[in-house]
Each structure stands twice: as structure tokens, then as C-alpha cells.
Amino acid sequence: MARSSAGLALLARPGIEVVAGDLLAPDAPDRLQGLLAGAEVVVHAATAIPRNDAAPGAWDTTARLRTEGTQRLLAAASAAGARGYIQQSIVTAYPDGGDRWLDESTPIDPAPARASICVPVAAMEALVRAVDVAHLRWCILRGGFFLGPGTFQDLHVERLRAGRPIVGGDGRAFFSPVHVADMAADMVAAVERLPGGATFNVAATPLRWGAYVARLARLLGVPPPPRPWPGPPSPSCRCTSAAARTVLGWTPQRTIWPAGQGGGSPHWPLEERRT
Ligand SMILES: NC(=O)c1ccc[n+]([C@@H]2O[C@H](COP(=O)([O-])OP(=O)(O)OC[C@H]3O[C@@H](n4cnc5c(N)ncnc54)[C@H](OP(=O)(O)O)[C@@H]3O)[C@@H](O)[C@H]2O)c1
């Protein structure tokens, strides 16, 4: 399901039936009943994060999708007699962990400064956890920072080519990326294995923002913006995805690095190396 023709076109692939609809529309609960009839597993991956995610109100619709949207999909999945429910979540809701490894037992960041992102994420996960696993086998996948074609990495490339920084700070903070196709592969593993009542981090090897910017700039053939970069650093997020590897049998298969050099468009070859 997606609202826009662009969103629907991205989903339209052989074997996929796409449905135009808005999860937050007043008639969505009624529509979902019919749409989900016969569904075995329901996946909630809807989000509406704008390109300028620092703008006022930028997270409002996404917050609603995480709360009302989750309530609606859980209710509809239950009513349809689905076996499973997968909730896409995010590792970036963890608090600043410095150089410490963060596993799934780490509580969501309670800092008021990050409430617009983290409060709805905590509420969303609590809604899912409140469901009896014997009734609906739920699983929460906390995805790393999506990289690859069509992700925020396009914006990173654009900014570095313009000589602008990507994030604030001195570059020492960690981030935990995942190639978006590896995230999708993990989603498939979760749908197939349905480990009820489980939460997983899903990220490739974490790295420091400084190392990421330096290597991406080198691949693009541009100088990295001088450090420190203006603005506060994002919370350091060094996640372990050991549980996803063990329980879901997931391993990242794709490199997070674009292959293009110099002025050419970067691309991510299909036969990608392991990260
Ligand atoms: N981007 C990241 O780095 C990242 C990292 C970790 C986890 N995640 C999570 O991964 C999931 C997908 O994120 P993404 O970045 O891949 O997002 P995306 O590319 O923007 O995809 C979101 C999808 O949701 C649809 N959608 C938005 N509002 C909707 C609504 N009201 N009703 C029905 N469909 C709606 C969008 O289509 P329309 O706009 O056409 O409706 C689009 O197909 C989200 O749960 C997100 O929190 C993202």
C-alpha cells in the first residue's frame, strides 16, 4: 500500500499487488479488513520522512503512522486471522552510546530533545509488544541507517559534491548503516521464520561518521569538508546485529559504498561484495 503514484510505481513488481491507500485515512480501518483478508503476515513499513527532516513538524505524519498506523494494522491483522506481524523500527532511536556496543536491550532514548522521533517509536514498539504472541506472532526489526540507491545516501553524495557536511560534530560518533536491499532480505527472513516476540537490530558493521565521510568523498573524488562540522553530532550508535545473524540467519551481502568515481554517477552494482 502507498498513497502516491510514485510510491505505487516503486512497489509495482511482478508478483506484487499494489493498492492505493492512506493508512491514516478515516476509512482505512474498514478498507484494511477487506484488503488483509487471507493475509498470512502483515508488515508495517510505512513512513513519511521528508527530505528536510529538521524542518518544524517534519516528523508529525511519521509519528502518526507509528502510533495510529500501528494500532490500525495490528487490529486489522488480528481481525484477518494473520499468523504474523512485522514492525519496522529504527536503531537511531537509541540514546548516545559513545563507543559502547548497543544491543536490543538498550532502552529507547528518553531525552526531551529527541522526543519527536523517539516517543512515537517507543509507543509503536509498546503497542506491538502488548499483543499476545500466541495470537499473533510479532517481530520488531530495528533497521540501521539505510544506504544504497534511493536512500539518504543520495543526499550525502549531493552534499559532499557541493562541499557541504552531512552531519555535525567531530566525526567520532558511530553510525550503524544497512544497505536497503539487505534490510529487505532481513524482512523476508523474518516473514519466513516468524520468531514470535523478538526484537532485532539490523545493521552492517558500524563505522564512525568521520571514516564514512572520508571514504565517500574519496570515492566521489572530492575533498571531505573540514572538521569539526557545524552543528551538534548525532547520537553515537554502534549497534550489534548478532541476534539477527544467529536467529534469522541474516548476513549483510551488499557493500554500502557506491562504485562511481570522480564526476560520474555513483552506482551500486548488483553483484556487490560483502560489506
Ligand atoms: N530511511 C532509513 O534510514 C530507515 C532506517 C531504519 C528504519 N527505517 C524504517 O523503514 C521503514 C521504511 O522507511 P523508508 O526510508 O524505506 O521509507 P520510504 O522509502 O519513504 O517508504 C515508505 C513507504 O510508506 C508509504 N507511505 C507513507 N505514508 C503512508 C500512508 N499514510 N499510508 C500508506 N502508505 C504510506 C510511502 O508511499 P507514499 O508516500 O506514496 O504513501 C512509501 O511507500 C520505516 O518504518 C522507517 O521508519 C528507515
What separation in Å is there between the alpha carbon of 65 and the centre of ligand 1? Answer: 9
Between helix 28-35 and helix 70-79 the angle, nearest 10°, is 40
Per residue in 196-242, pLDDT (tens digit) is 999 999 999 999 999 999 999 999 999 999 999 999 999 999 999 99
Average pLDDT over residues 45-60: 88
pLDDT above 90 covers a percentage of the chain that reads 89
- The answer to whether 256 and 275 have CB atoms below 8 angstroms apart is yes
Residue corresponding to grid cell 509488544: 129
What separation in Å is there between the alpha carbon of 167 and the centre of ligand 1? Answer: 22
For the chain, what percentages of helix, strand and coil (3-state, to nearest 5) are there? 35, 15, 50
Instruction: Note the Cα 226 to chain centre separation in Å.
Output: 29
Per residue in 94-153, pLDDT (tens digit) is 999 999 999 999 999 999 999 999 999 999 999 999 999 999 999 999 999 999 998 999
What residues does 208 pair with on adjacent strands?
174
- Residue 145 CA: which ligand 1 atom is closest? 3
In whole numbers, what is the pLDDT of the chain averaged over residues? 93
Q: Is the Cβ atom of 45 under 6 angstroms away from ligand 1?
A: yes
208: helix, strand or coil: strand
- Residue 25 CA: which ligand 1 atom is closest? 31
Pocket test for ligand 1, best of 47, 61, 85 (most atoms within 8 A of CB): 47
